[in-house]
Amino acid sequence: MAFIDEIKRRRTFGIISHPDAGKTTLTEKLLLFGGAISEAGAVKNNKVKKGATSDFMEIERQRGISVATSVLAFNYKDRKINILDTPGHKDFAEDTFRTLTAVDSVIVVIDVAKGVEPQTEKLVEVCRMRKIPMIVFINKLDREGKDAFDLLDEVEQKLGLTTTPLSFPIGMGYDFQGIYNIWAKKINLFAGDKKQKVTTGVEFTNINVPELDEMIGNKPADKLREELEMVEGVYPPFDQEAYLNGDLQPVFFGSALNNFGVKELLDCFIEIAPTPQPKKAEERLVDSKEDKLTGFVFKIHANMDPKHRDRLAFVKIVSGTFKRNAPYLHVRNGKKMKFSSPNAFFAEKKEIVDESYPGDIVGLHDTGNFKIGDTLTEGEIINFRGIPSFSPEHFRYVNNADPLKAKQLYKGLDQLMDEGVAQLFTLELNGRKVVGTVGALQYEVIQYRLEHEYGAKCTYENLAMHKVCWVEPTDNKAEFAEFKRVKQRYLAKDKQGQLVFLADSAFTIQMTQDKYPSVKLHFTSEYK
Ligand code: G4P
């Protein structure tokens, strides 16, 4: 197949949701349609269960599973679909943010009874800021939930989206009869079985016909007509351009568990979702159709087996063809590298491939050369942007608990930070190391992995801080010098050597900003 056709047929996206909204179930149903798996239950749940927050073995087990489900690829109607998994657990939110730099679009899953939940809000905000095209799937329609219009209002208000329903439920919960597919002008009735049977639906280009009453009953038919009239009157019509620009979000209703409304979603998705998109690098915009390879690392996964400390670096291909054994430039360290066994992902398996294309993810075995954000090219100096660090919310000093193993400790910390497990800051004043994380769970992961993978031991000391701010140097030299003198105790360097200010409260940030107005404080490392 020609290179250009390979690009055109790819759709790379992520599914985001608050835990329990049905992300895993929906993923599984999508794989079933692609024929990538043959039965429900085949995709292992990649989430740290709520009760397991301090169980190391559980974390390790989950890590193993999440390698397998990091990328799920399948073919559907000549399209190659790549689903990038995003952990739902809030302590791994940073992981999810990074994965979102590698997707071309997302599907947001919302529970019809619970509506918009906090984790959905956070993730959608990131997508909105980056103008990622989003489709909303309202799930669990087989249960009693909120009124469809109320939910659409909630989605618009809480998530700041502009919605346009492309399907509409006929009843809900006990009275749930099915879906009117506005996109394809069809009615699909719900049979309530879990046998993954897919009905093609009945076409209803005109809903003002008596056949509709015969099919779903007088009252529901009238209600549906009224509701669809309202949909037409209130919501903007679907406009693909607006969707692709991140200005309009189509909404689908269904029940992933019952495999209802999922095919409608998938069939529309492959029509409207974006093909591999151009990506901004510091130097220039790189188009997916360029024939020279470029790609970047968005995720690094450590090996489960402590005897083999190699890791798997996940590279999103932005342009060109990735070829096995071809020499590529690792831009950050200036070295040429060859990869003899690049992994591609198919359903839940990974296999060695000779060629991969824009939109695809390749897994490269790594012995510590890569860190998140690294770029590979055929020689050009390109640095992809958009993998910023955000301010952590928990801070602890890290101390070496075994003086003979200092080297191992620092190597371990270094590599774990490269993987993006947490962030390390070194205080300017005394060189003490501070580990910052999004959730408390990471401290246990770090301690456990240092011991089991690096043979090092550490202890922590609490540090009551609110946030770190990345400090933008100013031309006002006198003010900058004064800021550095007064705030000396609270200044540190991040792993890239950027200056950060550790603030103990929101009030301190405000006061500092007022006192030194020319010194700009930022909550993300990529502020330029
Ligand atoms: P997540 O990945 O977003 O965290 O959610 P997941 O798919 O694991 O689904 C969470 C729970 O919601 C699961 O039940 C799942 O079966 C259920 N669920 C998903 N889709 C639907 C739906 O359309 N209707 C109904 N009624 N339930 C749905 P569980 O009891 O937590 O797990 P399990 O024992 O069923 O695996």
408 lines ligand 1 (CB under 6 A): no
Instruction: Give the distance (Å) from ligand 1 centre to CA of residue 102.
Output: 26
User: 3-272 sits in which CATH class?
Assistant: alpha beta
| Farthest CA pair distance, the chain | 84
Q: Report d(CA 68, CA 47) in Å as an integer.
A: 13
Q: What confidence category does residue 263 fall into, taking pLDDT thresholds of 50, 70 and 90?
A: confident
Q: Report d(CA 85, CA 396) in Å as an integer.
A: 29
111 lines ligand 1 (CB under 6 A): no
- Encoded tokens for 180: 């009117």
Would you state the pLDDT for residue 418? 84
Q: Report d(CA 405, CA 411) in Å as an integer.
A: 10
Does the pTM surpass 0.75? The reply is yes
Q: Which helix (H) or strand (E) holds 317?
A: strand 311-319
Would you state the pLDDT for residue 201? 66
Q: Whose CA is nearest to atom 31 of ligand 1?
A: 20
Domain 279-377 fold: Rossmann fold (3.40.50)
Domains 279-377 and 394-522 share a fold: no
Share of the chain above pLDDT 70, in %: 88
Would you state the pLDDT for residue 505? 94
Q: What confidence category does residue 72 fall into, taking pLDDT thresholds of 50, 70 and 90?
A: confident
Q: Report d(CA 422, CA 414) in Å as an integer.
A: 10
Domain 394-522 fold: Alpha-Beta Plaits (3.30.70)
Instruction: Give the distance (Å) from ligand 1 centre to CA of residue 21.
Output: 7
Would you state the pLDDT for residue 61? 58
21 lines ligand 1 (CB under 6 A): yes
> Is 139 annotated among the ligand-binding residues?
yes
17 lines ligand 1 (CB under 6 A): yes
| Position 117 pLDDT exceeds 90 | yes
Report the atom number in ligand 1 closest to the C-alpha of 19. 4
Q: Whose CA is nearest to atom 30 of ligand 1?
A: 20
* Among 184-193, 359-368, 453-462, 489-498, the least confident range: 184-193
Q: Where are the domains of the chain?
A: 3-272, 279-377, 394-522
- At 519, phi and psi to the nearest 5? -90, 110
Give yes or no for a contact between 152 and 251, defined as CB atoms under 8 angstroms apart: yes
Q: Whose CA is nearest to atom 25 of ligand 1?
A: 140
